[in-house]
Chain A
Amino acid sequence: EIVLTQSPGTLSLSPGERATLSCRASQSVSSSYLAWYQQKPHQAPRLLIYDASSRATGIPDRFSGIGSGTDFTLTISRLEPEDFAVYYCQQYDSSPWSFGQGTTVEVK
């Protein structure tokens, strides 16, 4: 099973700042089968990025993903008030699918 480790656990930033979230896999994720999800309180997760770097439909271009192998990054170029949430990475290279433990982006 591929274990995903996200860092940091919590990111305290102000609106307008840049957020950089990391996701490291215990083994290589082939074909960059990695996704990022956003979850706000009392809401279902929402797909942001898939295949490591492709934005899902309707996702603003301030969200970007990059990475391959075992190291992946989600960047939010300029934080908007609605971006403060929990972010999860997830691999769909091999079963069982696994999620990282999440990174909370909170208002500083």
Chain B
Amino acid sequence: EVQLVQSGAEVKKPGESLKISCKTSGYTFSNSWIAWVRQMPGKGLEWMGVIYPGDSDTRYSPSFQGQVTISADTSIRTAYLQWSNLQASDTAMYYCARLTGSGSYPNKKFDSWGQGTLVTVSS
């Protein structure tokens, strides 16, 4: 069974840094893209970026380029999303998702999701 288990909720102050995680199991981690998706309170889904753990190929949505960093550690089958300078506007739920599909990038669907990590940024 494919599982993506995310790290717990975080409360941070503006200007602080943060790294959240997405630990996977049940499939070959190196062979599937992992994406991060933001959902602000009461709002819809926004794709942030994606990584292919096999070669660390990383792509970002233009809206998030330079704002976050995505990484992965194949030895522990875990993907990460990090910020160096959090703002109140980063308050949101963040989901990781595994991408699959017979086509090459970007023709991949989000077929398994983590449970989400709630990040609250407040002074």
Binding site for B on A (CB under 8 A): 1, 31, 33, 35, 37, 39, 44-47, 50-51, 56, 88, 90, 92-102
Q: Which residues of A contact B62 (CB under 8 A)?
A: 1, 96
Chain A CB count within 10 A is highest, among B35, B95, B108, B110, for: B110
Report how far A93 CA is from B104 CA in the complex, Å: 10
Report how far A37 CA is from B110 CA in the complex, Å: 9
A100 B44 Cβ-Cβ under 8 A: yes
Cross-interface CB contact of A92 among B95, B101, B114, B115, cutoff 8 Å: B101
Report how far A90 CA is from B85 CA in the complex, Å: 30
Report how far A55 CA is from B37 CA in the complex, Å: 22
B103: interface (CB < 8 Å):
yes
A22: shortest Cβ distance to chain B, in Å?
A: 16
Interface of A is mostly: loop
Q: Which residues of B contact A33 (CB under 8 A)?
A: 103, 107, 109
Report how far A54 CA is from B83 CA in the complex, Å: 37
B109 A46 Cβ-Cβ under 8 A: no
A44 B45 Cβ-Cβ under 8 A: no
A92 B109 Cβ-Cβ under 8 A: yes
B46: interface (CB < 8 Å):
yes
Report how far A99 CA is from B113 CA in the complex, Å: 15
Report how far A101 CA is from B43 CA in the complex, Å: 8
Cross-interface CB contact of B110 among A45, A96, A98, A100, cutoff 8 Å: A45
Q: What would 14 A/B residue contacts be, using CB atoms closer than 8 Å?
A: A31-B103, A33-B103, A33-B109, A44-B95, A44-B115, A44-B116, A47-B109, A50-B101, A90-B110, A92-B106, A93-B107, A95-B105, A99-B45, A99-B46
B95 A95 Cβ-Cβ under 8 A: no
